[in-house]
């Protein structure tokens, strides 16, 4: 994941025996160029400078280790859990995001992943503003072998969710995934629509607490940070699905989002195939980014 950023950090450290201020300056510049906010970069690099000033580094691998520890600490400093909460009977997961962020495919991929864990999964096509979203989700759900509840284009999204939740209870489903519309040009309508869906969830599944996951395109860099900020203002986001984290993503945006908004990353979308979604592990991510694995 984030191969470009990992390669650049690796190239920076390779061939260097001693640690000097010039190397740390280059590391700082490299991180800023990788879509990490200046404030976040400072929080990662300043502890390295302080340790180096005290003569604390004998080898470059020691810098990598401390960098990984700083990144891991940042990624754990969120207001929510890193792991997916599956509370309720059924558990309910809303997935939102702008068109093109991988929201609909992430819904289907996650449904397939949960099914492989032995859970019975049902998907609700509540993005009723685009016929293409409903049709796309139907194709993906058919591939995944999970049930889909859908209405016609233009139908009330709340009605789709109501039917899906009741169908899930009748069929003893474990999890309901809800693909919702993301229309940032009208935040008021988006908020009211999702509030209505939330009320329906509470009414039908009063004993559970739902996850609200925001799908983001990792290749959009700093724009993904802005999207996350806008959605968080409108909706109670509980975590992120970061898509398209294969070779082209710079990778720094994930650190900025967590640092600035305290939202945990829950899953990474790593490609176009059904199985290309993995749970996010902050410690593994930090070590890979620092070139330790």
Model pLDDT for residues 65-75, shown as the tens digit of each residue: 999 999 999 99
pTM of the complete model beyond 0.85: yes
98 versus 17: which is more confidently predicted?
Answer: 98
Q: Which of residues 220 and 153 earns the better pLDDT score?
A: 153
Strands 175-179 and 91-96: parallel
Above pLDDT 90, what percent of the chain?
Answer: 40
Please tell me what DSSP assigns to residue 14.
T
- pLDDT: which is higher, 61 or 191: 61
CA distance 88 to 203: 12
* Segment 249-289, tens digit of pLDDT: 556 777 888 888 899 999 998 888 899 999 999 999 899 88
Strands ordered across the beta sheet of 147-149: 147-149, 121-125, 175-179, 91-96, 211-217, 239-243, 265-269, 277-279
Binned at pLDDT 50, 70 and 90, residue 215 comes out as very high
177-186, 210-219, 261-270, 282-291: least confident range:
177-186
Whether 217 has a pLDDT exceeding 80, the answer reads yes
Q: What is the DSSP letter of 85?
A: P
Query: Mean pLDDT across the stretch 103-115?
Result: 94
3-state secondary structure of 108: helix
Residue 251 or 45, more confident? 45
155 has pLDDT over 70: yes
pLDDT at 97 over 60: yes
Q: Is 175 helix (H, G, I), strand (E, B) or coil?
A: strand
Return the pLDDT at 169: 93
216: which 2 tokens? 């983001």
Length of the chain: 293
Number of Cβ atoms within 10 Å of the Cβ of 239:
22
Q: Is the pLDDT score of 109 beyond 90?
A: yes
Among the four given CATH numbers 3.30.1360.120, 3.30.460.80, 3.40.440.10, 3.40.50.300, the one describing domain 91-280: 3.40.50.300
Is the pLDDT at 184 greater than 70, yes or no?
Answer: no
CA 216 to chain centre: 6
Same-fold call for 3-76 versus 91-280 = no
Cβ-based neighbour number of residue 262 at 10 Å: 12
Q: Are 158 and 200 in contact (CB under 8 A)?
A: yes
Which CATH architecture best describes the domain 3-76? Answer: Up-down Bundle (1.20)
Domain residues of the chain, as ranges? Answer: 3-76, 91-280
pLDDT at 159 over 70: yes
Compute the average pLDDT of residues 118-146.
92
């Amino acid at each position: 994941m984030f191969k470009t950023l990992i390669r650049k950090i690796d190239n920076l450290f390779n061939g260097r025996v001693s640690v000097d201020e010039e190397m740390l300056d280059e590391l700082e510049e490299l991180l800023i160029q990788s879509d990490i906010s200046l404030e976040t970069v400072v929080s990662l690099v300043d502890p390295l400078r302080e340790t180096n000033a005290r003569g604390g580094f004998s080898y470059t691998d020691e810098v990598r280790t401390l960098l990984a520890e700083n990144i891991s600490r940042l990624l754990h400093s969120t207001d929510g859990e890193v792991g997916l909460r599956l509370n309720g009977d059924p558990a309910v997961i809303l997935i939102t995001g702008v068109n093109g962020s991988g929201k609909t495919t992430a819904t289907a991929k996650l449904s397939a992943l949960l099914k492989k864990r032995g859970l019975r999964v049902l998907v609700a096509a509540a993005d009723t503003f685009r016929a293409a979203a409903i049709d796309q989700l139907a194709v993906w759900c058919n591939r995944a072998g999970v049930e889909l509840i859908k209405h016609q284009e233009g139908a009330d999204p709340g009605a789709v969710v109501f039917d899906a939740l009741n169908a899930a209870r009748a069929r003893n489903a474990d999890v309901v995934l809800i693909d919702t519309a993301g229309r940032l040009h009208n935040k008021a309508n988006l908020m009211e629509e999702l509030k209505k869906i939330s009320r329906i969830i509470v009414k039908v599944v009063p004993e559970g607490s739902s996850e609200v996951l925001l799908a983001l395109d990792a290749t959009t860099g700093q724009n993904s940070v802005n999207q996350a900020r806008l959605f968080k203002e409108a909706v109670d986001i509980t975590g992120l699905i970061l898509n398209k984290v294969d070779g082209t993503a710079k990778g720094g945006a994930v650190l900025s989002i967590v640092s600035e908004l305290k939202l945990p990353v829950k899953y990474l979308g790593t490609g176009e195939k059904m199985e290309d979604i993995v749970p996010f592990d902050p410690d593994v991510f930090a070590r890979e980014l620092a070139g330790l694995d």
